[in-house]
Amino acid sequence: MTNDYLIKSAEMDCPICNKVHSLELRKRLTQGLVKGEVVNYEEVYYLCPLSDEEENEFVPAGLMDENLLRARDAYRIQKGLLTSNEIAEIRSFYGLTQSDLSALLGWGDVTVTRYESKTVQDETYDNIMRMAFENPMFALENLDRHKERFTEDRYKRIRKKITDKVEEVGNLYLKKQEINSLYVNFQEESDYNGFKKLDIEKLANIIGYFAHFANNVFKVKLMKLLWYADALHFRRYGRSMTGLVYKHRPYGALPIAFDEIIYLPTVRVIEEIIYEDISYKIVPNKQVNVSDFSLEELNILESVATKFKNYRAREIVNYMHEEKAYLETEEYEIIPYSLAKELRELR
Ligand SMILES: [Zn+2]
């Protein structure tokens, strides 16, 4: 594949020969300088195929702006900053115009417009926009703080939209914060997390999968299913699936944050009285979307769910007690993933 290719040809006024003829609109990978750093980006330009001059290309002003935008976005991606499209997505998440978002965050009227079209935002501004997106309560507090920047009607309409988002994703944000704070000592990839940083979205999807495809999924059983999925994935690919860290406990492997992870939004927890004890049954909250998983992951989830489908908590606990990972660790000790290499074959 060449890096320079034709997008289309069109009859146009050619500024090089000063007459109307067919010009080529082309695209190529090029390098540019943004804030003193070299970035690779795609630039679009016109080529006059009739000219023998060395200068047979030109870029009209509108295209020039688009090229610069792509160069800045390449820089943003390199620096881990929000791209102009991502900023626009944050706005549409709350139904805000560019000047709405600026006003909501207490910035000058055109600040967001500039970030979407001209200037690369600095890290502080980037963090604030990210926070407003991830935590709707933060957006709401800011809206109320800058209420005078909006008409009464506009304020009410935006407030309604944000409070809807607080209900929809606000709890998830808080749950994630809680879980992440319990994993603060496991930010690095190691034998403890299976060489993977905790992936809460993936974890939520896996919990949803098990709630859907296995029977009698109570808390204890779910934790074992998770361990088997992670251990099997580690044995096959040298990485865990979720990044959970498990400890050796009387009822087998128990992940750190076991009390918090069952409140992720893919499942609901129902209290059931069994033999006069309250048990926590995990039921699916929404359809399982298989496209959330790779084929390798699905294969593992299916093996684990099938193997233990009808196991009761006591049976899966007893089964796990025979694993080397359990036999070779002490009470409260973290179970290193390297011991998963010895996992018994699931069938
Ligand atoms: Zn020409």
For 188-238, write each residue's pLDDT tens digit: 999 999 999 999 999 999 999 999 999 889 999 999 999 999 999 999 999
Task: Give the pLDDT mean for 310-330.
Answer: 92
- How many separate domains does the chain show? 3
State the residue range of the domain holding 51.
4-63+74-79
Asked if residue 222 and residue 169 are part of one domain, the reply reads no
Query: With 80 as the cut, is the pLDDT of residue 276 above it?
Result: no
Q: Give pLDDT, residue 248.
A: 96
Asked if residue 268 and residue 213 are part of one domain, the reply reads yes
Asked if residue 148 and residue 232 are part of one domain, the reply reads no
Burial classification of residue 220, based on how many CB atoms lie within 10 Å of its CB (0-12 exposed, 13-18 middle, 19 or more buried) = buried
Q: Find the 26 Cα to ligand 1 centroid distance in Å.
A: 15
Is residue 307 situated within a structural domain? yes
Lowest mean pLDDT: which of 130-134, 171-175, 322-326? 171-175
Q: Give pLDDT, residue 55.
A: 87
Q: Find the 59 Cα to ligand 1 centroid distance in Å.
A: 13
Asked if residue 151 and residue 20 are part of one domain, the reply reads no
Q: Find the 134 Cα to ligand 1 centroid distance in Å.
A: 51
Q: Find the 103 Cα to ligand 1 centroid distance in Å.
A: 47
Q: Give pLDDT, residue 1.
A: 45
Indicate the residue among 135, 160, 179 that finishes a domain.
179
Q: Which residues surround ligand 1, an ion (CB under 5 A)?
A: 14, 16-17, 48, 50
Is residue 68 situated within a structural domain? no
Q: Find the 55 Cα to ligand 1 centroid distance in Å.
A: 11
Contact call for residues 30 and 41 (beta carbons, < 8 A): yes
Q: Find the 58 Cα to ligand 1 centroid distance in Å.
A: 10
Asked if residue 272 and residue 125 are part of one domain, the reply reads no
Q: Give pLDDT, residue 345.
A: 76
Indicate the residue among 179, 207, 237 that finishes a domain.
179
Question: Could you tell me which residue, 117 or 98, shows the higher pLDDT?
Answer: 98
Asked if residue 167 and residue 146 are part of one domain, the reply reads yes
Helix (H) or strand (E) holding 136: helix 136-145
Q: Give pLDDT, residue 234.
A: 96
Q: Find the 48 Cα to ligand 1 centroid distance in Å.
A: 4
Q: Find the 326 Cα to ligand 1 centroid distance in Å.
A: 76
Asked if residue 161 and residue 191 are part of one domain, the reply reads no
Q: Find the 14 Cα to ligand 1 centroid distance in Å.
A: 5
Is residue 69 situated within a structural domain? no
Asked if residue 174 and residue 106 are part of one domain, the reply reads yes
Percentage of the chain beyond pLDDT 70 is 99
Asked if residue 250 and residue 305 are part of one domain, the reply reads yes
Asked if residue 204 and residue 301 are part of one domain, the reply reads yes
Q: Give pLDDT, residue 347.
A: 61
Is residue 347 situated within a structural domain? no
Q: Find the 52 Cα to ligand 1 centroid distance in Å.
A: 9
- In which band, very low, low, confident or very high, does the pLDDT at 23 lie, cut at 50, 70 and 90? very high
- In which band, very low, low, confident or very high, does the pLDDT at 167 lie, cut at 50, 70 and 90? confident
How distant, in Å, are the alpha carbons of 179, 198, 200, 204, 286 from that of 264? 10, 14, 9, 6, 12
Retrieve residue 138's tokens: 């933060």
Asked if residue 202 and residue 326 are part of one domain, the reply reads yes
Picking from 8, 96, 77, 73, the residue whose alpha carbon sits closest to that of residue 47 is 8
- In which band, very low, low, confident or very high, does the pLDDT at 133 lie, cut at 50, 70 and 90? very high
Asked if residue 53 and residue 115 are part of one domain, the reply reads no
**What pTM was computed for the model?**
0.68
Q: Find the 1 Cα to ligand 1 centroid distance in Å.
A: 27
Q: Give pLDDT, residue 104.
A: 98
Contact call for residues 120 and 153 (beta carbons, < 8 A): no
Q: Find the 42 Cα to ligand 1 centroid distance in Å.
A: 23
Q: Give pLDDT, residue 273.
A: 81
Indicate the residue among 179, 213, 235 that finishes a domain.
179
- In which band, very low, low, confident or very high, does the pLDDT at 333 lie, cut at 50, 70 and 90? very high
Task: Give the pLDDT mean for 90-107.
Answer: 97
Question: Could you tell me which residue, 20 or 341, shows the higher pLDDT?
Answer: 20
